[in-house]
């Protein structure tokens, strides 16, 4: 079924027709390898090869498979381990030889949200810092930070591999449970949240990622996973089409 390019992309979750028109005007949409400049261009999403900012558009909105997974503490964010430690394959035994990417790795001592997908391009863009996808963590630390310390944590912290500055830092008080510092940032360097707190003299007692790219951990318990809806996948994709860069892609885990 043919339709105008803006209608086709809107149906596939790339925003409203008006926002899609902006992508066309910015020369970021191609059909069968040719840049689209005319908003009246007719396409068949089932047959034509469409790309947005270099990213292939699936023929159906739900074609990429993305799952939200609560990685338990003590589990590696890899598919295998030569030392026999628990890893992702213990929770996804049917993966077999299919490609799978863990989006947003967590170190062994951390827990919380990982996204598991078969879409390598989507995984690459969600993880690369140039696309500034938000990640939110709840961090229990000792001692409990005071307002002045929270202000310092919100600023620039110098680390060995470069500075880090969160988008947001705030204290979440809980009745009958440990307080947590909620940290939101746009990068995923190795153990960067732990190292940031250590640089300010804190001991990290527990670190849990509760959100990635607008997807929340929700009611998942450690070891559980759920498949994202087509709407959730489309929202993830919409976050990473604004920029068109080509850093090296991550290796398949």
- Give all domains of the chain, ordered by start, each with its CATH number: 3-56 (3.10.290.10), 66-129+215-239 (3.30.70.580), 134-212 (3.30.2350.10)
- List active site positions: 107
Q: Residue 95 — pLDDT band, cuts 50, 70, 90?
A: low
At 172 the three-state DSSP class reads strand
Residue 129: predicted pLDDT: 84
| CB-based contact 117:127 (threshold 8 Å) | no
Signed CA dihedral, 187, 190, 194, 195: sign only:
negative
Q: How far is CA 183 from CA 65, 87, 95, 104, 128, in A?
A: 28, 26, 32, 15, 19
- Determine the average pLDDT of the residues in 161-178: 85
Residue 247: predicted pLDDT: 43
Report the helix count and the strand count for the chain, using DSSP H and E: 6, 17
Q: Return mean pLDDT, the chain.
A: 85
- Tokens coding 175: 């009745």
Is 60 exceeded by the pLDDT of residue 51?
yes
Q: Comparing 125 with 68, which gets the higher pLDDT?
A: 68
Q: Which residues contact 224 (CB under 8 A, 6 or more apart)?
A: 69, 70
Q: What is the pLDDT of residues 127-162, one digit of tens each?
A: 888 888 999 999 999 998 999 999 999 999 999 999
**HSE-up (13 A, CA, CB side) for residue 27:** 2
- Determine the average pLDDT of the residues in 23-33: 90
Q: Where are the alpha helices (DSSP H) in 85-227?
A: 120-127, 147-154, 192-199
Q: What is the pLDDT of residues 185-239, one digit of tens each?
A: 998 889 999 999 999 999 999 999 999 999 999 999 999 999 998 888 888 888 8
- Determine the average pLDDT of the residues in 154-175: 91
For residue 72, count other CB atoms closer than 10 A to its CB.
15
Rounded CA separation 187/130 (Å): 9
Is 60 exceeded by the pLDDT of residue 252?
no
Q: Residue 67 — pLDDT band, cuts 50, 70, 90?
A: very high
This prediction has a pTM of: 0.72
């Amino acid at each position: 079924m043919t339709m105008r390019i803006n209608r086709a992309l809107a149906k596939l979750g790339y925003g409203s027709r008006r926002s899609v028109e902006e992508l066309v005007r910015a020369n970021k949409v191609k059909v069968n390898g040719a840049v689209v400049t005319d908003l009246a261009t007719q396409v068949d999403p089932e047959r034509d090869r469409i790309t947005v900012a270099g990213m292939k558009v699936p023929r159906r909105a739900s074609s990429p498979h993305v799952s939200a997974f609560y990685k338990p503490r003590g589990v590696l964010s890899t598919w295998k381990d030569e030392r026999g430690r628990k890893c992702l394959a213990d929770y996804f035994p049917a993966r077999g030889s299919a490609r799978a990417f863990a989006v947003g790795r967590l170190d062994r001592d951390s827990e919380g949200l990982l996204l598991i997908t078969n879409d390598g391009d989507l995984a690459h863009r969600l993880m690369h810092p140039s696309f500034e996808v938000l990640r939110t963590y709840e961090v229990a630390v000792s001692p409990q930070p005071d307002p002045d310390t929270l202000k310092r944590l919100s600023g620039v912290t110098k680390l060995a591999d470069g500075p880090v500055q969160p988008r947001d830092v705030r204290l979440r008080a809980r009745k009958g449970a440990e307080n947590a510092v909620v940290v939101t940032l746009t990068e995923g360097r190795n153990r960067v949240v732990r190292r940031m707190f250590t640089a300010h003299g804190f001991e990290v007692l527990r670190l849990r990622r509760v959100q990635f790219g607008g997807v929340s951990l929700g009611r998942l318990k450690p070891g559980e996973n759920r498949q994202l809806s087509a709407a959730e996948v489309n929202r993830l994709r919409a976050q990473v089409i604004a920029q068109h860069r080509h850093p090296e892609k991550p290796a398949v885990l």
